[in-house]
Structures are given as C-alpha cells and as structure tokens.
Chains A and B, each alone.
Chain A
Amino acid sequence: MNRPYIRTPVLLEVKNLNKSFGGVHAVNNVSFTLNSGIIKAIIGPNGAGKTTLFNIISGILKANSGRVSFKGEDITGLNPHEIAERGIVRTFQNIKLAGHMSVLDNVMIGRHSKTRAGFFAAALSLPWTIKEEARTKEVCMEIMEMFSLTDLANEEVSNLPFGKQRAVEFARALAADPELLLLDEPASGLNIYETEELAEVIERIKNKGITILLVEHDMSLVMDISDEILVLNFGKEVASGLPEKVQKNPEVINIYLGEG
C-alpha cells in the first residue's frame, strides 16, 4: 500500500539506547527517529526488546546508556509523570486500569497532566476547581462517545469485557491530548472484528495529528496502518524503513519464518 509521504519534523529521537537485565541485553544500541504525524511500528519476535524500549521511553525503566529526546529536549531518565506532562502517553499490552473505579474516572485520570487542582485547592473546593472538574468531565464524555463508552460511564471497569477495557485505555490516553501516543500491542486479546475496528480508530487518531509509535504482533494490522517499520531481534535493529521495503528484507523473513 502506498501513501503520500511527506518529511515532517522529528518528534522523537532515540539514540544508542542500551538496557540489560543481569546478563540479558534487552535493548542493544537501538537508534531511530520518529517524524511527527506518522505511524511507526516496532515489530519483532517475543523478547526482541520492544516493550522494554517502550518502558524506557515512557520513563518506567531507566536506560543503562543512550538518549531519548522529544522535540529536541533530552528526556532520558525523567520520571513517568514528567514524560506524560510533556505529551507522551502510552497504553499497556496487559491493560492497566483502576478496576475498582468507574469508566468515567478512568478516562478522567487521562486529563491529569492537563489540569491543575491540587490537594489544597481541591479540599477547599475552590470555585475554579469545580469549573475545571466540570470541563474535564465534558471533554472526557466527548472522547468516550468516540469509543461508544457513554452508556458505561458509571460502570466499574472490572465489570467490562476485555475489548471494552481496551477502549477505555484508548479513551484515557486520548484524554491526555498527547502529541505522541505509544501503543503497546493494542490488538492483543482482540478478535478479528475488534482488530479491524482498532485499525480505524488508530487511523482516526492519526488524522487528529497525533503521532503514533506502535508495538504489535499482528502483521496484517501493522502492514495496514504503518508508515514506517522498525524491526528488532534480540534487542538489536534488524531492518527499518517503509513497510513494503521491510517486508521484502530477507533477514526479516528469516526471523519470522524461523520463529513460526
């Protein structure tokens, strides 16, 4: 599939990133750039270091060496909440929601970094905090509508089926108004119809001008939606570039056929 391809400014730059756990080199000298407005997929067999890479970018793990910069600013080693504040938001492969809270609450937490009512103001219920909270709710309801979650707003998340939970996670991420969205295996656990829907959703997010970095196993989904692909194996870059180019790379074919 060919897409019009325009060079946009670099949003995220990863340079010589390394991370090892004991003797295992999970991420081995990985470098890549991500231009704004596109969808880039990171693929590779299990244990290739994809999720580790995500965890480093989003601040959950600290790299041993290397650099991550976002819009020219060095964000290596910042805490997850500082990274979120800069506009990088992620989803998790094995969905991380607060199961004991309502769908609405779970989406509203997404706006945390865009709002400011702190302990003191909130406890005193200052008028501006009430306004802010109402506004937050409004924005979140709109986003929930996009995922047809409106009717479930007050439902406890742990009562929802898996597919719906994934939708809540997406809504939460979008509520944060991210510039860069990291999707960690968004199709895992979804059936074929849900995956198709997901592809549409991702396209729609992209059309809002949000850049997407995606880790995914579902090859057809990846080939369908990505503008660029980075292939990792044992923590190392194997190939990168346009989907059709990567698809024909003999090493990549070898990895995937070898795995199967």
Chain B
Amino acid sequence: MDLKRYYPVVVLILVVILIQILTSLFGITFYLTQLTMSAYYSLLTIGLCMLMGYAGQISLGQAGFFAIGGYTTAFLTTVNLIDKAEAPVLSLFKSLGIMVLREDLYGNKILHLSPWVAFLFAVIITIFIAFLIGVPVLKLKGHYLAMATLGFGIIVYRVVLGTRAFGEADGITRVPGFNLLPGIRVSGDFANRVENYYIAWVLVIIGAILLINLVNSRAGRALRYLHGSEEAASTMGVNVSRYKLNVFVLSAIYASVAGVFLTHFNAGIGPSEASVMKSVRYVAIVAAGGMANLWGTLIMAVTLNFLSLRGVFGTYDDAVFAVILIVIMLFAPRGLIRKGVISEIEFAFKKLKPGGIIKVKRES
C-alpha cells in the first residue's frame, strides 16, 4: 500500500500538537476554544468535500444535518424526565444504566438520557433522514439538486425555529457535558480546554483518515468516476444511485457528529446553526479548498472558521464568505490550495482585460 498518502496526516498531527504547545508557552490558550470549534466545523466540511468535491453532488443543506445532530442530543440530554421516572420504559433504561440523574445550577434534579445514547440516537436519526430525502433528491441534478437540498435546509431551519420543544429563537441551552470515557469529557469548561482541543482534533484526524482510505479505494474510485460520467460508471458496474446515496449519508453523518460534539462543547445550540448561510459557508470552504481536495478543504475550513470565530471579519462575516465564493468560482474554480494556482489567476486576469487572451479553459 502506498503510505505516502498518510504523510499529510502525520504533518497534521504534529501541527496540532505544536499549536497546543505554543499556545501554552505564550499563555494564549484561549485560542484553543476557537480552534476546537473550528475543528468540529472542519469535520463537517471534509464530509461535504467527499460529497461535493469527489462525488460531484452539491448540498446546500449540510447545516440541516449538523442541526439534526446537535438538536437531537441537546433535546435528549436536557429534557427532564423526572416526573415520568416511574414509567416502565424509563425504569428499564435506568436499569440498563443509560439514564443520567444530575442537578442543575439551582439544585433541581434532572433525569435524562445519557449523552452516549443521545449521540447514537442522533446518528441513527440522521442516517434515517438522510436516506429518506437522499433517495429522491439524488435523482436530481444541477440546479434541481441545489434547490432541493437548499429546501431541505430551510425546512430544518424553520422547524427548529418554530418548535417550542427546540426553544424556538433561543435554541436549547444548558446542555451538559458528554463523558466520552471516564475522565474524558466534551464540555466547554475552562479546565477541559486542552483536553477538548485534542478530542476535537482526534475526531477530525480519524475522519480524515477514513476519507483518505475511501478516496483511494475501489468505492472512492467509483465515486470520483460518477462525477466524471454517470453513464460510463454505471455501464462499468457501478450502482450509481446507491453510491450517491451512500456518500450523501456519510457526509450527513460527519455533519451530525460534528453537531453533536460542538453542541456539548458549547453547552447549547441555536437556530442559526441550521441557517442557509451556514450551509453556503460550508460550500464556500469546499470550493476555496479546491473541491476534490481533502487537505485544501481542511486548511481552508480551519483558517476561515477560526478567523470568523475570532470576529476578524466583524459584521462583514457573511459578505466575506460570499465574496470568497464568487471570486473563487470566477478566477480559480479548481480552488486555491494546489500547485500552479498563481499563474492560473494571472491568466484569468489577463483574460478579463479587453483584447486579452480569449481561450476556453477546460472545466474540471
């Protein structure tokens, strides 16, 4: 097997560790909070990269899956079941040890499902929904696919915004931490900052390794192939609709897992996480990263999300992402992170000038 493909992973691991050490040395560990959040958004983005970049299926509803994961876990770990504690189902759950009894800030007793169960439930529900909408949606192409996924995203947004159980405009707050293993806890407490930074990045690294494996396998080849020509892929024995569905579900799982973890880390989730703008932002990042480019996408995802979370773009946050989309698609449709990009941008600029070279460039 070609081990070269894992070199970037090693670099990534070293960079992650280096950054943590540097932030401790300079006493700027508060950066780790945003880096942790960026990591979770990056997890979603590399899943989308697989779907959009490699398999060529656009999704403008990725934030919807993020929200499904986040809201499911938030709801299940905050809804208080103490009044119904004697119900047979709950007694069964209690004896299985999948219920948690805790006290909130005011000393009220709260009984709810354990985060692990909520997590599993969130993933299952995501898979279910992704299948349900994926089957018809993925028959569509181009504008239709874009609009259908956008429509799905808006539905999720409207539902979480309009449903009382999901806190309407306020979202769900006071979501407890998630004890992954004894002593390892996903939460936003200051004490757990370094630990959470590593949890998030381990998750991203696992996610990335799985995708690298996938891209370079028989299944990944089929995915890339159907991007080029669905007809050719199918006559070579690729079950095109199933492959598209699988990668759609896979990217939904990435989004949902990111949603679950970030919700526990932030101790809550609000409807803005489901907004169309979020979905567009993820698409912008994949585009800027070079579409079928896992590492480009990852670099872009971390950089842009980090800058955005630090508030560098100020009130121009959304505008920045819109400009990125437009500029990349106009001048560098194959993304920024790759070889020969500078000369290509120069070329594109020359083309714009009157009397410049008018040569049709090959579309990828």
Contact = CB atoms under 8 A, between A and B. Distances in A.
Interface of A: 58-60, 79-81, 83-85, 89-90, 92, 96-101, 105, 108-110, 112-113, 115-119, 122-125, 129-130, 132-134, 136, 158, 172, 176
Contacts of A101: 221, 224-225, 228
B211 A85 contact: no
A85 B364 CA distance: 29
B218 A98 contact: no
Interface stretch (B140-148, B156-164, B229-237): B229-237
Residue of A85, A98, A158 contacting most chain B CB atoms (<10 Å)? A98
A99 B232 contact: no
Contacts of B228: 97-101
A132 B218 CA distance: 9
Given A84-B236, A89-B236, A122-B214, A112 B222 contact: yes
19 contacts: A58-B235, A80-B231, A81-B234, A81-B235, A81-B237, A83-B235, A90-B235, A97-B229, A98-B224, A98-B229, A98-B232, A101-B224, A112-B221, A112-B237, A119-B219, A119-B250, A122-B219, A125-B1, A133-B218
B56 to A, nearest CB: 10
A117 B247 CA distance: 15
A100 B364 contact: yes
A258 B246 CA distance: 53
A84 B234 contact: yes
A228 B90 CA distance: 75
Interface in B214-267: 214, 217-222, 224-225, 227-229, 231-240, 246-247, 250
B330 interface: no
Contacts, number: 113
B236 A110 contact: yes
Given A81-B239, A109-B225, A123-B214, 15 more contacts: A79-B239, A81-B234, A81-B235, A81-B238, A83-B235, A96-B231, A98-B229, A100-B224, A109-B221, A109-B222, A109-B236, A112-B238, A117-B217, A122-B219, A125-B1
A187 B337 CA distance: 41
Contacts of B236: 81, 84, 89, 109-110, 112-113, 172, 176
A134 B221 CA distance: 14
A80 B237 CA distance: 7
A84 B250 contact: no
B312 to A, nearest CB: 34
B362 A158 contact: yes
B296 to A, nearest CB: 15
Contacts of B222: 109, 112
Interface of B: 1, 210-211, 213-214, 217-222, 224-225, 227-229, 231-240, 246-247, 250, 292, 362, 364
Contact of B218 (A80, A100, A112): A112
Residue of B217, B227, B236, B362 contacting most chain A CB atoms (<10 Å)? B236
A117 B219 contact: yes
Nearest to B250: A119
A59 B238 CA distance: 13
Residue of B1, B217, B231, B247 contacting most chain A CB atoms (<10 Å)? B217
Nearest to B234: A80
Residue of A92, A125, A172 contacting most chain B CB atoms (<10 Å)? A125
Nearest to A134: B1
Which 5 residue pairs spanning A and B have beta carbons closest together?
A98-B228, A113-B237, A122-B217, A84-B237, A96-B232
Nearest to A99: B228
A123 B210 contact: yes
B239 A96 contact: no
Contacts of B227: 98, 100
B217 A133 contact: yes
Contacts of B250: 119
Contacts of A136: 218
A64 B36 CA distance: 58
Nearest to B237: A113
A125 B247 CA distance: 17
